[in-house]
Amino acid sequence: MTPPTQELSAVRHSWIVDDSGVRYTAFRRTLAPRWPSVWGKLLGGHLALAGCGAAIALLERAVPGTLPGAAAGAVLAVAGGAVLGFWLHYLLLFQHEAAHYNLAPGRRLNDLAANACLGVILGSDVRAYRQIHFVHHRNLGTTADTETSYFDPLDRRFLLESLTGVRLVRSLAGYQRTSAGATESAASRTPSAETAGPPFLGPVFLAAGAVNASVVVGALLLGLPALAAAWVLGMLTFLPLFNSVRQVLEHRGDSADDRADYRRTPHGAVNRLFGDGMLAATLGGAGFNRHLLHHWDPSVSFTRLREVERFLLRTDVAPLLLRRTTTYREAWRELNRV
């Protein structure tokens, strides 16, 4: 019998037994990542991004070079930026999976693959991101959390700061401070540069700058300014917006005080399940739609979280999952203050 509690996070793995008498600790040993599924979904995201870029280019070619055409080009740039930003955000979710060593077998190969397939586009070295993200796992809901979008209400100011890059600059500055602090702490324990990890704004960030500049310059040289603008907007405006909003939907409590400063007062740990469907598979791709389960057992591959959910629904903790199950639309309606 699982001890009574209000949150899954308080339940130890060793306490859980399903209705067939199978212990979770035994079941968990069967949950190896499904690598073809990982890479199929990741490469699918790359194809979606490339396909949307090509579609924007084709539409731009169809726009005449007149004043109405220029206005249509501006609309295309903004709409295209939103679409590109959505798929860039989808790829970002796999950087998170790599932080937990679930992108490829073997830690070295995992990190090389993450930086080669994701970091040089998104600008984040997975080793630096890992330092920041693991602090988030240890300190979720406290003032020491390193991923803090959910500290703020989902209101007009939140959206304006996201769209204008204010939140992006603030986040990058915070990540750099956290990464530098983690590096100094590791260096004080060992002289190994590999253990200390790279700075957040390091070589991978610079490589990504070159890659993104090449995309923009290439589009301009091809006579596709709307595509160039869409890429910039997607990367610097819509990607951070989707990332921030998703984090609020995952971690902000229904009863959170909109006037409270959760950088000074603990918010408390909140996680949710968002079910399945197209939106859950894209906005919540790479297992983010089952974020409650990820925080409970972080090292399980997203390719096995559905099985974890089914197992837990056959145990005494099923009510704890059901009370945290929602959809992204329902969570938005509950938390929307715009």
| Beta-carbon count within 10 A of 131 CB | 25
Q: In the structure, what pLDDT confidence band is assigned to residue 289 with cuts at 50, 70 and 90?
A: very high
Residue 222, classed as helix, strand or coil, is coil
200-217 confidence digits (pLDDT tens): 678 999 999 999 999 999
Spell out a b/e string for 12-22, using b for 16 or more CB atoms within 10 Å of the CB, else e: eeebbbbeeee
Strand partners, 154: 336
Q: Cα separation of 245 and 268, whole Å?
A: 18
217-253 confidence digits (pLDDT tens): 999 999 999 999 999 999 999 999 999 999 999 999 9
Whether the Cβ atoms of residue 7 and residue 141 lie closer than 8 Å to each other: no
Whether the Cβ atoms of residue 246 and residue 298 lie closer than 8 Å to each other: no
| Beta-carbon count within 10 A of 41 CB | 18
**Residue 257, pLDDT above cutoff 50:** yes
Residue whose C-alpha is closest to residue 221's, from 209, 213, 211, 210: 213
35-62 confidence digits (pLDDT tens): 999 999 999 999 999 999 999 999 999 8
pTM of the full structure: 0.92
Residue 336, classed as helix, strand or coil, is strand
58-111 confidence digits (pLDDT tens): 999 987 666 566 788 899 999 999 999 999 999 999 999 999 999 999 999 999
Whether the Cβ atoms of residue 288 and residue 93 lie closer than 8 Å to each other: yes
